[in-house]
C-alpha cells in the first residue's frame, strides 16, 4: 500500500461539473503539496498547505488540509477543458527528512 | 520563483550505451536534489537523493551501479543510466529543494532505449 492514497485514479467529466480529489494517509505530514502535470512535462506546484484545517483557494480550485494533517482534498468548481491533466498530491514528513512522498495521482479529463 | 532546468528533454539511445541527464538549479543553490522515475500514467517514484559533495542515497530496489548520480556542485546534479536496456525507457524527472520556494521540478527527460 502507498503511504499516500489518492482517489479517484481517473475522472472523466463534462465541462462545468464540479469534482473533488482526495489524498489520504495514516501518517502525519508537516506539509502537503498539490501539483498538476501535463504530458511530457514536470509537475508544477499548485499549492502548499502546512497548517491543520487550512483552506487555500486558487481561482476555481480549493485545497483543504485535514485537521490532523493526515489528509487533503482538492475541489475544482465548474471544471474547464484546460483543467485536464494529472493531479498529484505529495506529502513531506519531518521524520523522513521532509522528503516528498507522492500519491498515485488522479488523471482528470474534462470534456467540452 | 526557483527554476530547475533539465536536459535533454528527449533522448533515444541504443541498447548497451550510457546516457547522461543533467539537472541544474538556475537561480538558487541546492545541496540536495532528487531523481524520480515515472512510468506511463503513473505517479512519480523516488529513485535517489543526490547530495552535494557526497554519495547519493538510493531507494530500495534502485541499482546504484546502473543509475550513477553525481552532485559535484551546488547547482548541478547528473544522472547517468549505464548500459541502458529497453526496460530503462521511462520519463526521468529531477527536483531541487529551495528554502523559500520548496520543491521545484525539472521538465523531465523522456528516455527511449532501442
Dihedral over Cα of B11, A42, B4, A101: its sign: negative
Q: What is the mean pLDDT of chain B?
A: 93
pLDDT 10s digits, A11-44: 999 999 999 999 999 999 999 999 999 989 999 9
**Chain B residues lying within 8 Å of A6, measured CB to CB:** 43
Distance of CA A33 to the CA centre of its chain: 7
**Closest Cα in chain B to A5:** B43
What per-residue string of b and e applies to A90-111 under the rule 16 or more CB within 10 Å gives b? bbbbeeeebbbbbbbbbbbebe
If you measure CA to CA, which chain B residue comes closest to A87?
A: B43
pLDDT digits (tens, 9 = 90+) for B12-46: 999 999 999 999 999 888 888 999 999 988 899 99
Using CA atoms, how far residue B26 sits from B37, B75, B105, in Å, is 22, 7, 12
Question: Do the Cβ atoms of B74 and B30 come closer than 8 Å?
Answer: yes
Q: Contact A44/B105, CB-based, under 8 Å?
A: yes
CB contact under 8 A, B103 and A102: no
Q: Hey, are the CB atoms on B102 and A44 less than 8 Å from each other?
A: no
**Which of B31, B60, B91, B103 should one mutate to test binding to chain A, selecting the residue with the greatest count of A CBs within 10 A?**
B103
Torsion of CA B26, B29, B31, B37, to 10 degrees: -20
Rounded Cα distance between A103 and A106, Å, is 9
Averaged pLDDT, A52-77: 97
CB hemisphere CA count around A7 (13 angstroms): 5
**Contact at CB, B44 and A43, closer than 8 angstroms:** yes
Residue A57, classed as helix, strand or coil, is strand
Please calculate the CA angle A6-A51-A75 and round it to the nearest 5 degrees: 40
Amino acid at each position: 500500500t502507498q503511504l499516500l492514497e489518492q482517489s479517484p485514479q481517473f475522472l472523466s467529466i463534462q465541462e462545468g461539473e464540479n469534482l473533488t480529489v482526495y489524498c489520504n494517509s495514516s501518517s502525519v505530514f508537516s506539509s502537503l503539496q498539490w501539483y498538476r502535470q501535463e504530458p511530457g512535462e514536470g509537475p508544477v506546484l499548485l499549492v502548499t498547505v502546512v497548517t491543520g484545517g487550512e483552506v487555500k483557494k486558487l481561482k476555481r480550485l480549493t485545497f483543504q488540509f485535514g485537521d490532523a494533517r493526515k489528509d487533503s482534498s482538492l475541489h475544482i468548481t465548474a471544471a474547464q477543458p484546460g483543467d485536464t491533466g494529472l493531479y498529484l498530491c505529495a506529502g513531506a514528513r519531518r521524520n523522513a527528512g521532509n522528503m516528498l512522498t507522492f500519491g498515485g495521482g488522479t488523471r482528470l479529463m474534462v470534456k467540452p | 520563483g526557483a527554476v530547475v532546468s533539465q536536459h535533454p528533454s528527449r533522448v533515444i539511445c541504443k541498447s548497451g550505451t550510457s546516457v547522461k541527464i543533467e539537472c541544474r538549479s538556475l537561480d538558487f543553490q541546492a545541496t540536495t536534489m532528487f531523481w524520480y522515475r515515472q512510468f506511463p500514467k503513473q505517479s512519480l517514484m523516488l529513485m535517489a537523493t543526490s547530495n552535494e559533495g557526497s554519495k547519493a542515497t538510493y531507494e530500495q530496489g534502485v541499482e546504484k551501479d546502473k543509475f550513477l548520480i553525481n552532485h559535484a556542485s551546488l547547482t548541478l546534479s547528473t544522472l547517468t543510466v549505464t548500459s541502458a536496456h529497453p526496460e530503462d525507457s521511462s520519463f526521468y524527472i529531477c527536483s531541487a529543494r529551495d528554502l523559500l520556494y520548496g520543491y521545484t521540478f525539472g521538465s523531465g527527460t523522456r528516455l527511449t532505449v532501442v
